[in-house]
Amino acid sequence: MTDKPNSISAKDTTYHLHPYTNLKAHEEQGPLVITRGEGVRVFGEDGKEYIEGLSGLWCASLGFNEPRLVKAAQKQMETLPFYHSFTGKVPDVTAELAEKLVDVTPDGLDRALFCNSGSEANDTAIKLVWYYNNARGKPEKKKIISREKAYHGVTIAAGSMTGLAYAQNGFDLPASERILQTSCPHYYRYGLDGESEEAFATRMASELEELILAEGPETVGAMFAEPIQGAGGVILPPMGYFEKIQAVLKKYDVLLIADEVICGFGRTGKMFGSQTYNIKPDMMTLAKQMSSGYLPISALMVSDGLYQVVKERSNELGVFGHGLTYGGHPVPCAVALEVLKIYEERDIVAQVNAISPYFQDRLATYADHPLVGEVRGTGLIGAIELSADKASKTPFDPSLGMGAGLVKKCENHGLILRAMPGDCVAFCPPLISEQTDLDALFSRFDAALAEM
């Protein structure tokens, strides 16, 4: 019998199949082992401090050691550590969270269906589109539109909508001919010479309409859209974009699902990205900052009009045959409720609006750097896209790994960021960040960028 590994690093490389990782390289290089968190910082097993410039995975809005969330989880564990919502039963805290989510989300979203991740919430939304159109007597109206560079998750249906090669290559995705893609509305990268931002948005809406007409409006059920395309590179919509595409969707009776998994709960300077960009969705998916990442939970918010159709169909069939064992689990629900209380008490949206101008101003200073093609962002989210030639917007050869290389140098300087496709480096600091935290973040980024 061989000796078992003793160190955490060796145990990880021996037993752990890592997500979003080059597995062969990981076995050779080993992990960065994180052992504790404090405020906007996390600490490695050697005691080294890192500023978490991506809030973990866009989620740790309240930082990494909020005591009220620990107490909320402990209290719920002591009271009711598990119960389900199947067959008409419900934990009290789950019903309370549903009410609170209806209160804080934009008008028109009147029901909450709980899941465990953004991927699950988006999968559930697809199923609901199909169920809804079956109930309406429109069984052909099932095709789903997402966008190039979209990120909606990695389960089979959500991964089929994700318009990023790394989430599909090798997995036989997309797995359905019902999943369609329309253009990515990134003006910097795809705008034509001499084309204004608004004209570009008009062209994006026209291309969407052409796609719907080519497929047949009677076959297209819904479109999914992130207010800001986060994992695709923090891509902000061009001026007038959502107004124009919503007019197209309404014209052809196509539902709009807003994926607020990253944008939701204050990140953009309003409670939801849909409010920032005047989006009026039929459904909305939530996760990440709903629990500040402390426990897995997500939700699908549904309009009353859609719910009423689904309700009548479930009565005809005898049951609404969808649910997850841990959907609406009382412990994550208790933590999410406490997160929402903290957001209200501390007026988290006002806090974001107070600190985000400083964040965006500091980010904008990199626009003149010779390696930087574009700087973009709003609220407390942003990105820097590296470019081999600023004038022509020529990207670097992907084999150079410039974005990943910069992120690695940031890590060496005690800053954790994330490289996105196209050599984009994303910034998404916790919502509790103060100016001194941002100063430290950008100081460490400066040191890394200087080494490039």
Max Cα separation, the chain? 69
Report the sign of the C-alpha dihedral through residues 432, 437, 439, 444, in that order: negative
Local structure of residue 395 (DSSP, 8 states): P
At 6 the pLDDT is 87
At 2 the pLDDT is 63
At 5 the pLDDT is 82
Residues 119 and 160 in one domain: yes
Residue 113 has a CB neighbour count (10 Å cut-off) of 25
Q: What is the C-alpha separation between 149 and 217, in angstroms, rounded? A: 24
At 142 the pLDDT is 98
Judge if the upstream peptide bond of residue 330 is cis by omega within 30 degrees of 0: no
Tell me if 8 is assigned to some domain: no
**CATH code of the domain containing 76:** 3.40.640.10
Could you tell me if 129 and 142 are in contact, meaning their C-beta atoms sit under 8 angstroms apart?
A: yes
User: H or E segment at 126?
Assistant: helix 118-135
At 1 the pLDDT is 46
Tell which of 345, 368, 385 closes a domain: 345
State the chain's mean pLDDT as an integer: 97
Local structure of residue 66 (DSSP, 8 states): -
Tell which of 345, 379, 399 closes a domain: 345
Tell me if 413 is assigned to some domain: yes
Q: What is the C-alpha separation between 169 and 283, in angstroms, rounded? A: 29
Tell me if 58 is assigned to some domain: yes
Structure tokens at 202: 């008009």
Residues 168 and 297 in one domain: yes
**CATH code of the domain containing 378:** 3.90.1150.10
286: domain range?
Answer: 69-345
Q: Which residues of the chain have pLDDT under 70?
A: 1-2
For residue 247, the one-letter residue type is A
Tell which of 321, 345, 369 closes a domain: 345
Q: What is the C-alpha separation between 203 and 141, in angstroms, rounded? A: 25
pTM confidence score: 0.96
CA atoms within 13 A on the CB side of 386: 23
At 46 the pLDDT is 95
Residues 47 and 77 in one domain: no
At 433 the pLDDT is 98
Residues 324 and 445 in one domain: no
Q: What angle, rounded to 10 degrees, do the helices at 118-135 and 304-317 form?
A: 70
